[in-house]
Amino acid sequence: MKTNWNYPTSLWVGQNRVKDLTNACQNLKIKKPLFVTDKDLAGSSMVKNILSELEDNLNEINIFSNFSGNPIGENVEEGVIEFKKFKCDGVIAFGGGSGLDVGKAIAFMSGQKRKIWDFEDIGDYWKRADEKNIAPIIAIPTTAGTGSETGRASAIINKDTGIKKIIFHPKFLPSIVILDPVLTVDLPPNLTATTGMDALAHNLEAFCAPGFHPMADGISIEGIKLIKKSLLTAFKNGKNLEARTDLMAAASMGSTAFQKGLGAIHSLSHPINSQFNIHHGLSNAIFMPYVLTFNKSEIEKKIVSICDYLNIEKNFDSFLKWILDLRKELNIPHKLSDVVEPKKINLEMLSKMALDDPSTSSNPKKMAIDDMKILYEYSISGKLF
């Protein structure tokens, strides 16, 4: 199967579509791209093969990879220096969430004079940007989780404050996305699980977010269904390309849908990611049932309304049981204390960071700092509401 989609941007979907990367560069008139990927992927045979093919067809290609998971602002600054040094004219962002987020941020910041933090997703901060010199972006995910390839923002940690910031501008959205399931077949089961749960969190929170956005709701419901259909299959058999394609689509759909909003799963996760370097998909998976049960009074009717479509018994408890059973089959820990030592957790600090997180405003249930503290406490003990 090969197909091209155009919502919210141009997506080239199908097996071995990465071989069309040269065509994508030509479409965007990119002749000297900066290939951005994390240091773990940079030396892989997959990347070497892609670079070899590009070198045969483009004037020049340079690589930037001096970063890993949970990137910081300094990673972006260093990438911008490389971009300007080699006089690049576009970015190929390749990899998981960190590679895509850093690549998009480099393309954006290459045309700016302000600091990256001046473009945090607050009000109309994005209007501060100089749009004339933002470089074109091609995004190629190698996981099926963050959906950053269809997002208009990057998650970058401010090292000085220890806070993960969402940097936003409409032109963060890549011009061409290549979804090639072959690139994900070697993703180990644990990362297949955590990235898949990340995609589920995006679709689920987008659906539950308050407000009228039927397009986002429709996309998120189908994203949840694709994950229910294929996440366990891909976890057990990573070479199943149909399942891998489903998950890549669901990840892109989640990022498209959450323009409607996210919620407390992400509010709780971001401080844990920045303070303890915990994988974002893993923390989302851990917090998911605690937030679901906390929000039950506000979301029960919505959850019940989609149970038939998901082939789940039509009640909230059955949906919650599916989430708990799925996590168990994916070997996801039930408690935050399984991945972070409780004595290292500063509840007051984390709760304030969570309350201040931009995802909090679209949680279905209005939240105070005590609610965040209780949610952290419950996730440490394993108690559900």
Per-residue pLDDT, 5? 65
Strand order in the sheet with 62-64: 2-5, 10-14, 176-179, 137-141, 90-95, 33-36, 62-64
**Could you read off the pLDDT tens digit of each residue along the chain, which spans 385 residues?**
787 766 899 999 999 999 999 999 999 999 999 999 999 999 999 999 999 999 988 879 999 999 988 899 999 999 999 999 999 999 999 999 999 999 999 999 999 999 999 999 999 999 999 988 899 999 999 999 999 999 999 999 999 999 999 999 999 999 999 999 999 999 999 999 999 999 999 999 999 999 999 999 999 999 999 999 999 999 999 999 999 999 999 999 999 999 999 999 999 999 999 999 999 999 999 999 999 999 999 999 999 999 999 999 999 999 999 999 999 999 999 999 999 999 999 999 999 999 999 999 999 999 999 999 999 999 999 999 9
How far CA 290 is from CA of 275, 283, 334, 381, in Å, comes to 20, 12, 10, 11
**Structural domains in the chain, sorted by start:** 2-183 (3.40.50.1970), 187-381 (1.20.1090.10)
Give residue 34's pLDDT.
Answer: 98
The pTM of this model reads: 0.93
- Per DSSP (E only), the strands in the chain are 2-5, 10-14, 33-36, 62-64, 90-95, 137-141, 153-158, 163-168, 176-179
The C-alpha angle with vertex 153 and arms to 177 and 24, in degrees rounded to 5, equals 20
Show the CA angle centred on residue 111, arms to residues 108 and 112, nearest 5°.
90
